Structure 1
Amino acid sequence: MKIQLAIFFALAILTACNSPVQSYKAPQPTLADYQVGEKWVWKYKGVTTEGEVRSDGEDTREIVNVDGVLGMTIGNDTVPVVDIVKQDESETPKYDWPLQVGKKWKYENSWTSQDGTTGKQSQNAEVLSYQEETVEAGTFMAYTIQYTGKISNSRGYNADEEEVWLYTPELKSFIKLTQTQGDFNYVEELIEYSKPE
């Protein structure tokens, strides 16, 4: 009887590991997946290990129609959705579509901030799981994607970095970001999502 139970549990674990949920491949969103009136609201907070609050607020994005073209409002800018869903030709992309549990890739990014500071990120990415995750906006099926590596900039800043993104295909976005960068900890969480009925 004990051997039968052990075999049953071993098979149950193997079946769970190979379940359709864990083997689901999420494609990159397309223009047709967005609709006017969709809205995402995140709250964010960044605090140093000494307790200094460096950022604290909300970020809202919404899909709008500008002269017949779908756009997403980001701060004071409106970015055409066609640019957001454009295929990333980079060999080191932020998201390596289609997403699937166990997938690994290298992410590299170079940037220039408004004050002219240049910087680089180099991270190893891995999709750890696809399961229900709960944030203030609700409960969603989401991928947990872990990025680990380094960040540096032209002002001499250099730090180890770890980011964990919870990305949900249903909302075409991340629902939570937890980031540790040197002595700085940052959390951003979706608090509201809505779309026209």
Structure 2
Amino acid sequence: MRSQYLVFLSCMLFSLCCTAMGAALTLQPTLADYKDGEKWVWKYKGVTKAGEVRADGKDTKKIISKNGELFMVTAPRTFPLSDIVKPVDSKTSRYNWPLQVGKKWTFEDHWESEDGTKGSTIQDAEVLSFKAETVDAGTFMAYTIQYKGKIINTRGYSANTEDIHVYAPELKTFIKLTQIQDDYLYIEELIEYSK
């Protein structure tokens, strides 16, 4: 009996130490994690080193319910939330679930823009930390994930990239995004969240 108690106590201490060291895991959000009326608003700005502003504005996402089904509304479209929260099985996705400090993977995105240009983004990703982070919308526990690599497209564009995503599990999204592509800096920050 005493040996079972010691094993139990050891497991508990190990668990507490791992959690204190940032070893907690964050799973991919599910449909049950979202609520009708949730709303996120980000401000964004993209500027070249020469001072040319290429992006400046706000982005909003909101959860709505239609006939008992949840949808995510963005500026261009409305998506069934069930499509957005489908389990991600890919080991090269933007977020490699579960998230945990120290986790590393390669992010790959092969895409096509509205004008038909095809391209690829390939970056080495690493979860650097999990700590309280403050943005205009408030202070949240968040993972800082660094992505470093390259973006190329069929028009001959090629740039080194570094992205920093600050992802807050409580909000099920990033609260800050910083992207550097050679001479271009893009920053997006959450300015409002409501349930």
* TM-score normalized with structure 1 length: 0.88
Are residues 1:181 and 2:185 paired?
Answer: no
Matches within 5 A, 1:47-58: 47-58=47-58
Q: Note the C-alpha offset of 1:90.
A: 2.0
Structure 1 distance, partners of 2:20, 2:71, is 34
Quote the residue 1:86 is aligned against.
Answer: 86
Quote the residue 1:5 is aligned against.
Answer: none
Structure 2 distance, partners of 1:48, 1:152, is 18
8 A contact 1:144–1:166 mirrored in 2: yes
Structure 1 distance, partners of 2:67, 2:52, is 44
Q: Report SS of the residue matched to 1:22.
A: coil
Quote the residue 2:5 is aligned against.
Answer: none
* Greater mean deviation of Cα atoms: 175-184 or 84-93: 84-93
* Structure 1 residue ranges without an equivalent (≥5): 1-15
Q: Note the C-alpha offset of 1:112.
A: 0.7
Quote the residue 1:136 is aligned against.
Answer: 136
Quote the residue 1:105 is aligned against.
Answer: 105
Structure 2 distance, partners of 1:165, 1:58, is 18
8 A contact 1:48–1:184 mirrored in 2: yes
Structure 1 distance, partners of 2:66, 2:161, is 38
Structure 1 distance, partners of 2:80, 2:21, is 32
Structure 2 distance, partners of 1:173, 1:17, is 27
Change in CA separation of 1:34 and 1:173 when aligned onto 2, cut-off 3 Å: same
Structure 2 distance, partners of 1:21, 1:135, is 24
* Structure 2 residue ranges without an equivalent (≥5): 1-15
Quote the residue 1:27 is aligned against.
Answer: 27
Structure 1 distance, partners of 2:75, 2:151, is 24
Structure 2 distance, partners of 1:34, 1:193, is 13
Q: Report SS of the residue matched to 1:188.
A: strand
Structure 2 distance, partners of 1:87, 1:53, is 37
- Give the counterpart letter for 1:48 in structure 2: T
- Give the counterpart letter for 1:143 in structure 2: Y
* TM-score normalized with structure 2 length: 0.89
Q: Note the C-alpha offset of 1:68.
A: 2.5
- RMSD of Structure 2 on Structure 1 (CA): 1.4
Q: Report SS of the residue matched to 2:22.
A: helix
- Give the counterpart letter for 1:139 in structure 2: T
Deviations 1:34-53 (A, max 9, x none): 01100000000000010000
The runs of at least 4 consecutive aligned structure 1 residues that moved more than 6 Å come to: none
Change in CA separation of 1:186 and 1:82 when aligned onto 2, cut-off 3 Å: same
Quote the residue 2:193 is aligned against.
Answer: 193
Structure 1 distance, partners of 2:88, 2:186, is 26
- Give the counterpart letter for 2:26 in structure 1: A
Quote the residue 1:165 is aligned against.
Answer: 165
Q: Note the C-alpha offset of 1:67.
A: 3.0
